Structure 1
Amino acid sequence: MTATADQILSEIREANLSYLMLAQNLIRSDREQALYRLGVSEDTADLLAVLSPAQMMKIASGNTLLCRFRFDDELVWGLLTNHGKTTAANDATSRLHASIVLAGRHQEAA
């Protein structure tokens, strides 16, 4: 079954609202972790933290997806997908390595 354009737009709006709600909760509960996990600037975090529910609904209702992948290189994807290896130790090590790479990129962007 193929999704219609209306279904896709509805899913984008739902994802946007979920993302905004998650972002706001993260920022309010642990700002430093939120900045890292969301990959947003201090200014963006300030803005997200004070959005009203009505503002979030309005922003979410657009047809553009608000969240995006923060990495687009094969190294990080390879680490996250674990190069096809399935042992628990390899999985944990690969995810830790990916987190370190992403944390370094977050520091470079800040």
Structure 2
Amino acid sequence: MNANELTTEIKELNLTYLMLARQMVHADKDMAIFRLGISKDIAEILAVLTPGQILKMSNSNMMLCRIRFDDNLVFGMLANYGKEKMMAQSHAAILMAGQPVEEIC
């Protein structure tokens, strides 16, 4: 994959993420905050973004979302495909809920 293709993929990811995040915030703000790992302030900003603003923001060549697998334990739990898959996912959700949310700097 060359640099232009990578940039295009990042822009598409940004657009998809922002549209999904905005939809989640409109449907249930508290659940969106929890599932996206964002602060209340960011959720409020997402709620009022216009489609044009989302399109403009998504045009960045930097990813606007962040993978929250900073913890090997959480990553291992989510990747567990054994018999206890549901339990592992529940434990991972509990651990991720305890992580601090992202803030606007």
TM-score, length-normalised on structure 2? 0.90
- Equivalent residue, structure 2, for 1:57: 55
Alignment of 1:11-50 (within 5 A): 11-50=9-48
**1:35 is aligned with what amino acid?**
I
Percent identical: 43
The structure whose residues are more often helix, as a share, is 1
Structure 2, unmatched stretches of 5+, are: none
Which segments of structure 1 move beyond 2 Å, counting only runs of 4 or more? Answer: 104-107
**1:81 is aligned with what amino acid?**
A
Larger Rg: 1 or 2? 1
Is this contact kept in 2: 1:24–1:48, CA < 8 A? Answer: yes
Please provide the CA RMSD for this pair. Answer: 1.6
Is this contact kept in 2: 1:36–1:106, CA < 8 A? Answer: no
Aligned length: 102
Q: Which has the higher contact order (CA 8 A, sep 6+)?
A: 2
- Separation of aligned partners in 1, 2:25 and 2:93: 19
**Does the residue aligned with 1:6 lie in a helix, a strand or coil?**
helix
- Separation of aligned partners in 2, 1:86 and 1:75: 15
Which one of 83, 88, 93 corresponds to residue 99 of structure 1? 93
Instruction: Please list the CA deviations of residues 28-73 of structure 1 after superposition, one character each: whole Å capped at 9, or x if unmatched.
Output: 0000000001111111111111111111111000100001112311
TM-score, length-normalised on structure 1? 0.86
- Equivalent residue, structure 2, for 1:86: 82
1:106 shift after superposition: 4.8
Is this contact kept in 2: 1:76–1:101, CA < 8 A? Answer: yes
1:26 shift after superposition: 0.2
Structure 1, unmatched stretches of 5+, are: none
**Does the residue aligned with 1:59 lie in a helix, a strand or coil?**
helix
